[in-house]
Structure 1
Amino acid sequence: MDLDFKYDIFDKLALKIEINNKIETSLYDKYKVKRGLRNENGTGVLVGLTKVGSVNGYKVLDGKKVSMEGILDYRGMNVKEVVTGFQKDKRHGFEETSYLLLFGKLPNREELQEFKIILSNFRQVPDAFIEDMILKFPSNDIMNKLQRSILASYSIDPNPDDISVKALMEQSLKLIARFPLFVAYGYQAKAHYYDKKSLYLHAAQQNLDTAENILYLIRPDNKFTEKEAELLDLSLVLHSEHGGGNNSTFATHVVSSSGTDTYSAISAAVGCLKGPKHGGANLKVYEMITNIRENVCNWNNREALKDYLYKILRKEAFDGKGLIYGMGHAIYTLSDPRAVLLKEKALELAKEKNRIAEFDLYKNIEELTKEIFKEQRDGKDICANVDLYSGFVYEMLNIPRELYTPLFATARISGWCAHRIEQIISETRIIRPAYENVAIEQDYTELNNRF
């Protein structure tokens, strides 16, 4: 088939698809559809119960949302207390946070050491897996490579369809341990085969924890500072869980409710996180900041910066979507506790790396956007979300942009696995909501009579 002719047909077919699949907005109101599973006041539709995590950013009084400081709990424990606890002892916290999410309680010293040893022993895959699955079929998108590595893990599991509690636990621990490998090796393959860079394949180190191994695996010289590892560990802790209703975690519940295997459920969650409206948001922040740097000469000139932010909101600048990425959240109103904690540590690293001017740019964007919304959006409360500062943190850590979202997944795997186990143990019914059919009835037409 002639290539130009083919694409001419594709254009026509695409137009038919667009015309015949568009549903009028008024019909959603007519049938009282909870679009995006959200109530009219913006709160989420209650579809399940969980003990794993909770997200609170407002109160509902007399049917209206009232703003409040954000609270994030892991197993009923305020994440701020968890972070303060391990940082006070100058420890990394991702492993004990994963333990908390999976087992429902914080580990004692012996349990934590035992847990770290288990993860360390699982932090390896057969050489043939790396060569055949990752190196022979590299991907330009690490999230895509991560999904494929997860699905391929089904083949090296002797009982992949076993959904007993013991099997679920072992599968979860192996995925938590191996995500850094999948991400790091996927990135190295991409850098080599797509970007024509040298190929570095380092073996994970048993004496290093998750954050340390990530930095060790992705850097050619394996070197990192304690401050860098501390900040990456904090980022992993803060991204590891965010309630049952976020897009990727809800997908984990939905897919798990069918009784399918762990690898299918977790790969579906990764597919959700890949989207720019979910985990890919930190990349949009990075792109927006780059655009602002190019168009605002003096970052300290708050008026010039505020004017440009207005242009972004008016769809006159950046990507034309009218969004200031990294600002605003579906639940948090006055503050996102993850952003607050990450901002504090980001400032410490910015001082160490002599990048205070850039930190101030992010801080000014946060403050000025709040001012703009007070002025132009009927006093609406808006706060910085975790994506505003996570991209800056990764940039200071010299982490390639392609790894921003995969690192989110490397953290969230703990929460996904905890929710999957909870779903299978607690709720045996398959999740199946309803859709109203609004198609116009048609009579069948014989082929010769179709025009």
Structure 2
Amino acid sequence: MAEIIKESFERLLKEQNIPNELYSKYQVKKGLRNEDGTGVLVGLTRISDVVGYRKDAKGHVSPSKGHLYYRGLDVEEILRHAEGKRFVFEEVCFLILFGHLPSREEMDKFKAVLSHRYELPTHYLESSILSFPSQNLMNKLQQEVLMFYRYDKYDPDSTNPFDILEKGVNLIAKIPVIVCYTYATKIHYFDNQSLIIHQIDPSLSIAEQILHLLKKDGRFTPKEAEVLDTALVLHADHGGGNNSTFTNVVIGSTGTDLYSTISGSIGSLKGPRHGGANLAVRKQMKAVIKRIGLDATDDDIRMIVDKILNKEFNDHSGLVYGIGHAVYTLSDPRSELLAKKCEEISIEKHRHDEYLFHKRFSEIAVEEIYKRKGKPVCTNVDFYSGLVYDMLGIPEDLYTLLFVIGRTVGWIAHNIEDKLYGGRIIRPATKYVGEKMDYTDESER
């Protein structure tokens, strides 16, 4: 019986294909991207800005140093001012949500609100998480976010911007806890490990809370917490055009509830071309190190990069994961900032040789790709994030989930902004390029 599906699909491929030249003929912009690779403008925002190239008066694009701005503030400057003084992810959440840097009093009050909301509803852990383990934690998190619809004390369907803000702050606080508890449940039921559930500590920052809940003894170093805090800051937002944020706004524009929009964003982020890329980088680098070793010469690295580009190594995709970005050209500021933290934690963990190898590999990969494509590329945030998480003792199952924890605040902010100032259902058009047919009676088919 399955043959009918296969045969019908093969007929579909043969008779209903869309030739690539039709996209040019009808000026359809694949992936909402212009011919020069820049993105098609689909909205306006005051939340964040991603700068990776310059456009002159004639529209010509030229490469430039990358910058990421949250509410007009350079993220590099934000982190530099907080260096060694305080955890900054919660401060960035406040900035992204409310548009200004908080005073000390505002920050204390906001942290108190978040810490008060760490706690899950009564019996939620037992009834929803422990009783329903899942091998795929991204899918599980989607389910848990949807589950919070029924726990909403007010109107779960309300799309009033202030109500969205209230629900969103609740999710920012609870998602890290859910992530840690679903992981503990997964490794207990599917990996035969001991079930260790730590109590939530309301005195901890979000980065500290994650490490406390994940580590078997609940202990972590100040440097570990600082590095994770930085990673969360760098993932907090990336403009309204990134796939998961655009997904959030598209779904939200229909007037549906926040839980549905966040769940959809998580599904988007799961993909290896988006949030799942950090895991793809980690697998790639493990394979490279296994083949040529950390002591490999530059020529050895150049050889393995060429094999990857020639589809002869790794997953045979021809892609060097962690190198290149849709917007950044000369540099990705997130990658540069995370590389700095990666080096710091590598020294504490006595794994500096791994960091140095990654650095050499990235430099050579950038050179080789430039030789082939003739345009500059750079490492992106995914290149170092997997290595950083591994040095923090965070398992691969959670790499993309940490991206979710960081990005939730951006999703919420854009959702609210679109409701305040956009207000229309997002509905682009497509061009029909098939043929018209006459109906054929069943007896004549």
Structure 1-normalised TM-score? 0.95
Q: For the structure 1 residues 196 and 15, does the alpha-carbon distance in structure 2 shift closer, same or farther, using more than 3 Å as the test?
A: farther
Contact 1:299–1:305 (8 Å) recurs in 2: no
Q: How far apart, in 2, do the equivalents of 1:307 and 1:196 lie?
A: 40
Partner of 1:403: 398
For 1:280-326, what per-residue CA distance to the aligned partner results, in whole angstroms no more than 9, with x for missing partners? Answer: 00000001001101211353411111111011001111111111100
For 1:380-421, what per-residue CA distance to the aligned partner results, in whole angstroms no more than 9, with x for missing partners? Answer: 111110000001100101101010000000000011111111
- Equivalent residue for 2:183, pick from 187, 191, 200: 187
Q: How far apart, in 2, do the equivalents of 1:188 and 1:100 lie?
A: 32
Q: How far apart, in 1, do the equivalents of 2:439 and 2:13 lie?
A: 22
Determine if the alignment matches structure 1 residue 23 to structure 2 residue 18: yes
Contact 1:143–1:271 (8 Å) recurs in 2: yes
- SS state at 1:49 partner: coil
Partner of 1:282: 278
Amino acid paired to 1:47: V
Partner of 1:41: 36
Q: How far apart, in 2, do the equivalents of 1:447 and 1:404 lie?
A: 53
- SS state at 1:174 partner: helix
Q: How far apart, in 1, do the equivalents of 2:132 and 2:6 lie?
A: 31
Partner of 2:304: 308
| C-alpha displacement of 1:169 | 1.4
Partner of 2:335: 339
54-63 vs 9-18, greater mean Cα deviation: 9-18
For 1:73-96, what per-residue CA distance to the aligned partner results, in whole angstroms no more than 9, with x for missing partners? Answer: 0001100111111115x2100000
Q: For the structure 1 residues 196 and 377, does the alpha-carbon distance in structure 2 shift closer, same or farther, using more than 3 Å as the test?
A: same
Amino acid paired to 1:283: L
Contact 1:342–1:390 (8 Å) recurs in 2: yes
| C-alpha displacement of 1:162 | 1.5
| C-alpha displacement of 1:434 | 0.2
Q: For the structure 1 residues 18 and 171, does the alpha-carbon distance in structure 2 shift closer, same or farther, using more than 3 Å as the test?
A: farther
| C-alpha displacement of 1:333 | 0.5
- Equivalent residue for 1:362, pick from 326, 334, 358: 358
* Aligned pairs (5 A) from 1:30-429: 30-61=25-56, 62-88=58-84, 90-158=85-153, 159-297=155-293, 299-378=295-374, 380-429=375-424
Q: How far apart, in 1, do the equivalents of 2:112 and 2:362 lie?
A: 41
Identical-pair percentage: 45
Partner of 1:3: none
Contact 1:293–1:299 (8 Å) recurs in 2: no
| C-alpha displacement of 1:273 | 0.4
Amino acid paired to 2:76: K
Amino acid paired to 1:199: L
For 1:10-57, what per-residue CA distance to the aligned partner results, in whole angstroms no more than 9, with x for missing partners? Answer: 433443454466422121111110110011111111110000000000
| C-alpha displacement of 1:429 | 1.1
Amino acid paired to 2:134: S
Contact 2:294–2:353 (8 Å) recurs in 1: no
Q: How far apart, in 2, do the equivalents of 1:200 and 1:153 lie?
A: 24
Amino acid paired to 1:392: L
Q: For the structure 1 residues 299 and 442, does the alpha-carbon distance in structure 2 shift closer, same or farther, using more than 3 Å as the test?
A: farther
Q: For the structure 1 residues 286 and 138, does the alpha-carbon distance in structure 2 shift closer, same or farther, using more than 3 Å as the test?
A: same
Unaligned runs of 5+ in 2: none
| C-alpha displacement of 1:372 | 1.1
Contact 1:334–1:383 (8 Å) recurs in 2: yes
Q: How far apart, in 2, do the equivalents of 1:19 and 1:353 lie?
A: 56
| C-alpha displacement of 1:437 | 1.0
| C-alpha displacement of 1:135 | 2.1
- SS state at 1:68 partner: strand
Amino acid paired to 2:381: V
| C-alpha displacement of 1:366 | 1.2
Q: CA RMSD in A?
A: 1.4
| C-alpha displacement of 1:136 | 2.1
Q: How far apart, in 2, do the equivalents of 1:298 and 1:130 lie?
A: 43
- SS state at 1:276 partner: coil
Q: How far apart, in 1, do the equivalents of 2:183 and 2:13 lie?
A: 36
Contact 2:97–2:409 (8 Å) recurs in 1: yes
- SS state at 1:349 partner: helix
| C-alpha displacement of 1:365 | 1.2
Unaligned runs of 5+ in 1: 1-5
Q: How far apart, in 2, do the equivalents of 1:111 and 1:19 lie?
A: 62
Q: How far apart, in 2, do the equivalents of 1:18 and 1:190 lie?
A: 40
| C-alpha displacement of 1:166 | 2.5
- SS state at 2:123 partner: helix
Partner of 1:432: 427
Contact 2:245–2:414 (8 Å) recurs in 1: yes
For 1:197-242, what per-residue CA distance to the aligned partner results, in whole angstroms no more than 9, with x for missing partners? Answer: 1112222210101000001111121111110000000000000010
Structure 2-normalised TM-score? 0.97
Partner of 1:441: 436
Q: How far apart, in 1, do the equivalents of 2:15 and 2:271 lie?
A: 25
